[in-house]
A = this chain, B = another copy of it.
Amino acid sequence: MVANKPTIKDVARQAGVSIATVSRVMAKKANTYTPQTAQRVWDAAAKLGYQKNSAAAELATRSSDKIAVIVSNPPTNFSTGILDGMQQTALAHNHHIIILYAGNHSPQLLHQAIKDATAGPRAGILLIGSQIDPQSLKMLQDSQLPVRLVSNYSYELPLQFISSDNTELAAQSVEYLIKKGHRRIGLFGIDHSHTGLQRRAGYQKAMYEHHLPIEQDWIQYGNYSYEAGQTIMQYWADLKLSAVVAASDLVAMGIMRQAAQMGIKIPQDLSIVSIDGTFLCEVTDPQLTSVTQDFYQIGVNSVLDLLGNAPSELVPFKLVERGSVAEQPK
C-alpha cells in the first residue's frame, strides 16, 4: 500500500494555503509572497517529499527548460567533451539537457530521435554529428523550435551550427606538414559527408597554395574508423607518401597499427597528423601530433547560442605537437 506521489494540492493543504500560492513560491516568483508563507510552503513540501510534475508544468506553460540533444553515435568518441560542456552550461542557465541517442547514422533512428525530441515542449534541439536528410530537416522545422547543428555543418542547410572549421582543420594540418618539409602528403579516412568534403577542400586548398601536386589516390576515403585506417594503409607503399593527415584519431591509430605490421616506422618513414585530438592521441606510441578541437567549448557555445547569447559559429582549434611527425629533409 504505497502512497501516491504528493501533488501541489497536498502541499497546499499541508501548508494551509492555496495551490496558487504553492505554485508561486515553488517557482520563486519575486514579490508575490511573504517569507513566512514561503517557509510554510517549503516545510510542507519537504515533509511530503513533494516534487513538481514537470509534465503538468510544461503543459500549463507550453514551454520547457529541457534542451534535447540528439547524438548520432560517433565512430570516435569525442562526444563526451561536448556533452560535458553542454551540461555545465545548461545547468548554469537553469536548463537541463536530455540526450536522445540516434544510433550510428541510421536515418530511421535519427527520425525517431527527432520525433521524441519534438513530442513535448522543449527549450531547443542540439544535434551532434547528425546527417540531416530532407525529412529530418522538415521535422526539425515543423517543430518551430530553435535548433543548432553541433560539430558538423553545411552552408547549404538552413540551420545554424557550432563547430570547428573543418576546412581549416585539414588545411592547417597540411600547412604544418609542409613546413616540416613534406611534399607528398595524403588525406586518409574522410567520408563523403559535408564534413569529409570540407576537410578535403581544406587539404586541397593548402596543397594548391604551395603549388604541390595531388596525385591520384592520395585522398583515401573511409568512415573515420580504425578499420578504415588499417585498410587504407595497406596501399601506402604504392602511394609513396611521406606524410598523411588522418581524418580522425581512430583512423590515425589504424594507420599506426597497420604500419607496425608492415615494418613502417612512425614518424621516420611516415609522419601523421591526426584530426580530433582526443585522449587517444596520448595513448599511442609515439603519441599523435594532432589538430585538436575544443570539444568542451563547442558544447558550451552550443547551449549559449541556442539560448540566445554568444552567436559564434566556429570555435578555434589548435595544433598540438607530439611525436608522430618528423622533419623531412628537402
Contact = CB atoms under 8 A, between A and B. Distances in A.
B120 A54 contact: yes
Interface string A45-69: 0000101111110110000100000
Contacts of A121: 53, 55
Given A51-B118, A119-B52, A101 B83 contact: yes
A52 B103 CA distance: 24
Interface string A266-302: 0000000000000100110100000000000000000
Interface string A111-146: 010011011110000000000000000000011100
A242 interface: no
A96 to B, nearest CB: 5
A144 B5 contact: yes
Contacts of A87: 101, 103, 109
A115 B51 contact: yes
A84 interface: yes
A30 to B, nearest CB: 23
A187 B116 CA distance: 44
Given A115-B51, A253-B283, A99 B96 contact: no
A91 to B, nearest CB: 7
A262 interface: no
Contacts of A226: 279, 282-283
A53 B59 contact: yes
A80 to B, nearest CB: 7
A73 interface: yes
Contact of A101 (B59, B99, B116): B99
How many copies are assembled?
2
A144 B121 CA distance: 25
A141 to B, nearest CB: 10
A39 interface: no
Contacts of A80: 73, 77
A97 B70 CA distance: 12
A2 interface: yes
A320 interface: no
A257 interface: yes
Nearest to A97: B101
A157 interface: no
Instruction: Among A2, A64, A100, find the residue whose CB has the most chain B CB atoms closer than 10 A.
Output: A100
A314 interface: no
A304 B37 CA distance: 46
B96 A116 contact: yes
Contacts of A310: none
A271 B36 CA distance: 68
A80 B83 CA distance: 14
Interface of A: 2, 5, 49, 51-56, 58-59, 64, 73, 77, 80, 83-84, 87, 91, 96-101, 103, 109, 112, 115-116, 118-121, 142-144, 226, 253, 257, 260, 279, 282-283, 285
